[in-house]
Each structure stands twice: as C-alpha cells, then as structure tokens.
Amino acid sequence: MPQAPEPEKLDVVALVDTAERELAAAATEQALREVHARYGGREGAIKRAVQAAINAAPKDRKREVGQVGNAALQRIEGAFEARLRSLGDEARTRDLARTVDVTLPGRSHRPGHLHPITHARRAIERIFAQLGFTLATGPQVETDFHNFEALAMPPDHPARDMQDTFYLANSDLLLRTHTSPVQIRTMLAQRPPVRVICPGTVYRRDDDPTHSPMFHQVEGLLVDEQVTFADLKGVLLHFARAFFGPATTVRLRPSFFPFTEPSAEFDLSCVFCAGAGCRTCKNTGWIEVGGAGMVDPEVFRHVDYDSERYTGFAFGFGIDRMAMLKYRISDIRLLYEGDHRLLEQFP
C-alpha cells in the first residue's frame, strides 16, 4: 500500500486535491475503501494534517483553521460516497449489457447407467423369483468354516487348490471364493423347505490377465422332501430359456464338487451359433457356465439337516459370464474398465 504523504510537509488543500483524485480513480470498491482509509476519517492523513496546522497556528486563528479542516474532511466523505455510488451503477450497467438468450434450450443432465452386470443380476433374480426362489446374501469376508469346511472341504482337501484364496492375515477369515457359503448360512438359519438364490461378489487370486480377481456368482439352493436331479435340470433349463431365449438347451456333464453328489458341469447350447460351432464355443456348440449337483449328505450333517428325510440340489455360475454372453461383450476386462462408451449402451 503506498504511504500517505507526510502531513506536515503538505498543506491541507494539496492533500485534499490528491485524495479526491485518487478516490475518483479507484476502479474497484476495495481500492476505493483503501484510499478512503488512508486519507479520510479520524485516523487518516487529512485529519493528522489538520491537527498539525491547528497546533502550528497562532491562538487567535486556531478556530478558523479547524473549520477549514472540517470542511476538507466532509469533502472527502462526499467524494467517497459519490464514487461508491458510481461504482455500483457501473456494475449494474455491465450486468444489464450482458446479453442472455432466454430462448436457448437448457443444458440437460445425462442420466446414469446401470452396469451390464447389474442388468444381468437383476434379470437372473427376476427369473428365479418367478419360480419362488427368495434372495439370500452373506458376507464377502467369510470364515474358513462357511467357505470350505461345511462344504465338505476340510483343511488339506485338494479341492481347496482350485480356488486360490485371499486370506486375511492372522485370522481364519478370507475373502469368499464362491457364493456357496451362503448355502451354509441359509441352512444354519432356517429349516427345510429352502428355496434361495444368492448373488454376490467373490474373490480369487488369479494372475491370468483374462480373469478378474473380483467377479460375481449366483448360487441356487433348493431343499425339500423328494427333490430329484430332474428338478435341478428342469430349473436350469427354465432359467436358460427365460434368460437367453426359448431355443436354448442345457447339458449336464458328470463332474466332481466336494459339496454335491452326484455333481455336474452345467453347459448351455452356444448362444452365438445355436450349436453349429463358432469361435466362442470353440466349435463344440456348448458353453460351460457353472457347476451343479445334489447336496451332499456331508453338507447336511454340518447344518444339522436330516439327510434321510430331505434331499436338495444346488448350482452356481458366473454372472459376469452370463452378462457377456447375453450382451455379446467379447472381453471380460471391458466389464471392469468403467469406460462410458460401454456403459452408455446399457440404459
């Protein structure tokens, strides 16, 4: 901030001239207030100059000098007020001069989009809801008991090798490697009959670039009296047709899972070539989508169900894969890159 002139060196009239010039030239309200503070008011340069002149004047002239000084201070106040008003007028004039075309259409917000995996999950939930399946969920951080042991995979069971597990340090907790532990939680919480589907996020340590360490599965479980393998196949066939269209067929191939007996691999007729053979199905006409089987009595033992009275089936498959097949997405990585060009295609 420039220093105010030394009051004693200048006479009051010259000081008032300078102050008025500076007030009139101030371009902003803040600059104006600074100039005013420097010259005007009880602390300002003019007041100090007037006081000095009074002190220096002979006794009989002090009163006259004081009156001249007061008049000078009032002029400064007047000049300040006037400039303040004119700055306000200038701002208003500028605002009014700004042209606004009120006929232009407004800017619309672009709506968000559901992820294709969410679309697929909801479609799956809807189809099973129509068959009377209710929704069940479980935690993503699981215990060894729910994820492995109660599913007939005791410590050192070779099947644990198939599922590269993320363990939480210094505990028996882990990130669930499949949605099957929700079967256990459901059966521990309720008596038969049971009819649930359990969609959810699962985790596996995969270093293959075409696999994601986090992906989605849906588990199905039905337990009642006299449930058969034919019921399992009927439910899977109904689902496949509702999800992919009436021409779809299902194939169950003998396989092994520790928690089902018998166990099966669940294949769909290729949704791209309808079984004729193409790149996606590697010319086999079939696409592998999940596992299924009849609940092993060993699992029932862990949840205290009577395996003489009850039987049940279970199945599990990947939601990501279902979404890719349904929406013809060729690379799983596209699902996890958050690219708007992909997401915007799924309103």
* 252: Cα separation from own chain's centroid: 39
CB of 243 to ligand DAH, least distance (A): 18
* Given 83, 176, 178, 216, the residue binding ligand DAH (CB under 6 A): 178
Give the pairing type, strands 260-269 and 250-257: antiparallel
Mark 271-310 with x for binding to ligand DAH (rule: CB under 6 A) and - for no binding.
-------------------xxxx-----------------
Which position among 257, 286, 300, 305 is part of the footprint of ligand DAH (CB under 6 A)?
257
Provide the CB-side half-sphere exposure for 86 (13 A, CA).
Answer: 12
Any contact of residue 219 with ligand DAH (CB under 6 A)?
Answer: yes
- Return d(Cα 110, Cα 112) in angstroms, integer: 7
For residue 181, give the DSSP letter: H
Pick one of 147, 180, 186, 269: the residue that binds ligand DAH (CB under 6 A).
180
CB-wise, 62 or 233, nearer to ligand DAH?
Answer: 233
Number of residues that bind ligand DAH (CB under 6 A): 12
Give the pair of three-digit tokens for residue 225.
């009296």
Q: Which is nearer to ligand DAH, 51 or 165 (CB)?
A: 165
Which residue is it, tokens 């800017």? 107
Q: What is the widest separation between alpha-carbon atoms in the chain?
A: 126
In the structure encoding, which two tokens stand for residue 282, read together?
């590697």
In the complex, the smallest distance separating the C-beta of residue 338 from ligand DAH, rounded to whole angstroms, is: 25
Collapse the DSSP code of 293 into the 3-class scheme (helix H, G, I; strand E, B; otherwise coil) and give the result: strand
Strand partners, 223: 194, 312
- Check binding of 185 to ligand DAH (CB under 6 A): no
- Is 152:296 a contact under the CB 8 Å cutoff? yes
Near ligand DAH in 65-94, by CB under 6 A: none
- Least separation in angstroms between residue 131's CB and ligand DAH is 16
Q: Which stretch binds ligand DAH (CB under 6 A): 245-253, 276-284, 297-305, 311-319?
A: 311-319
274: burial class by Cβ within 10 Å (0-12, 13-18, 19+)? middle
| 151 close to 299: Cβ distance less than 8 angstroms | yes
The number of residues in the chain equals 347
Toward ligand DAH, which CB reaches closer, 198 or 325?
198
User: Peptide bond before 155: cis, by omega within 30 degrees of 0?
Assistant: no
Q: Nearer Cβ to ligand DAH, position 35 or 236?
A: 236
Residue 182 binds ligand DAH (CB under 6 A)? no
CB of 134 to ligand DAH, least distance (A): 17
User: From the CB of 292, what's the least distance to ligand DAH, in Å?
Assistant: 5
Residues in contact with ligand DAH by the rule CB under 6 A? 178, 180, 219, 257, 260, 290-293, 314-316
